[in-house]
Structures are given as structure tokens and as C-alpha cells.
Chain A
Amino acid sequence: MPVDFGKEVDYVARLARLSLEPGEKERMAGQLSEILETARRIQELDTTDVEPTSHVTELPAVLREDRIKLSLPLNRALQNSPRREKGFVKVPRITASEQAEE
């Protein structure tokens, strides 16, 4: 069964917060269908009882001591921020549908 990305493209683009131009969307849907078609080949492999590899490093997590280190000076911390106001970072209004997501 071929992968049809056309139906998914809007949903995924919203999830990924990517605005796509109309032509771009169709082109992408076509390319992604093809890529996923190839990617699906791994379904042929039997992975019964195979644990997934999330990390190739088989070591436990490192813990550091709870000591305060110097933070960045305020002007350094925000030096790349496109919109600032009184030491804050400024963003446009938040819509109701986004509120629900948090």
C-alpha cells in the first residue's frame, strides 16, 4: 500500500509550525510519499523481542553537583532576541487554541 502524504501534509505542517506555500505543499507531499515509501522497507525486518536503541552509549546518566554558576549578563542572554521590552522577550498575542495545548 503506497504512502499518501497528501492527506497528512496540513496536519503535520501545523504540528511542526511550518507555513507552506500552496505549490510547495504539493511538491513536498509528493516527495515525502516517496521517501516514506522507501523508509517503510524496514517493515520487512522481523524485530520481535528487539529492544530499540535510543543511545549507543551504554552508560548511566552523569550527575553534577547542585552549585550555582554565573548566568549570562542580561544583555548577553538577549543579544540575539529580535524583539525585546524592558528585559523581557516580546511575543505576539497568544490565541485560545494555543492556550489549550500547553
Chain B
Amino acid sequence: MDVLGTSEASAESVTMHGVTVTPQSRALILRLPKGGLVWNRPTAVLVEQEGRVRRIPIVDITRILQVGLLGLAVLTTSASVRRCRRRTGGAA
């Protein structure tokens, strides 16, 4: 059994208005001898209509905004550190 692994799974399909919806999820599993961690998140929805299958991704807007803000903070901070070093001639 792997210590760290991922698994993709599909939930039970729901059929309504002639559309079959199958939600899909992906889990990151960390197995330790005396414990473990599971991070499971929804990834997409498979929509089957009139014989055609369409995949609609589930986008985690909150996570994107959080990572974006963190990236912005890191970029702004590194830019101001570089500017400060240039002003002080690399002493800071």
C-alpha cells in the first residue's frame, strides 16, 4: 500500500429531465503507520444527454482567489525587497 496516493471516484448517477449526471471526485490519501490524512475534492460532472457525454469541470473559486492573493502578496513583497536593495546598493 502506497504512503501517498490519489484516487478518482464517481458518485452515484442522477437522472432527471432526460439528463444523467455523474459527479466525480479526486482524493489525495496519505497513509502513515499510526495515522493518515485524506483530502477529497470534487473535480467534474459528467453529463450524458441524447447519447452525448459532456464534462463540466467544478472550479474552486475560493481556492483560486486564496492562491491568487498569496501569489500577489509574494510578488509585491519580492518587488519591494528588490527595490529596497537597489536603493541601498545591496546592503539591505
The yes or no verdict on A and B being binding partners is: no
Binding site for A on B (CB under 8 A): none
Binding site for B on A (CB under 8 A): none
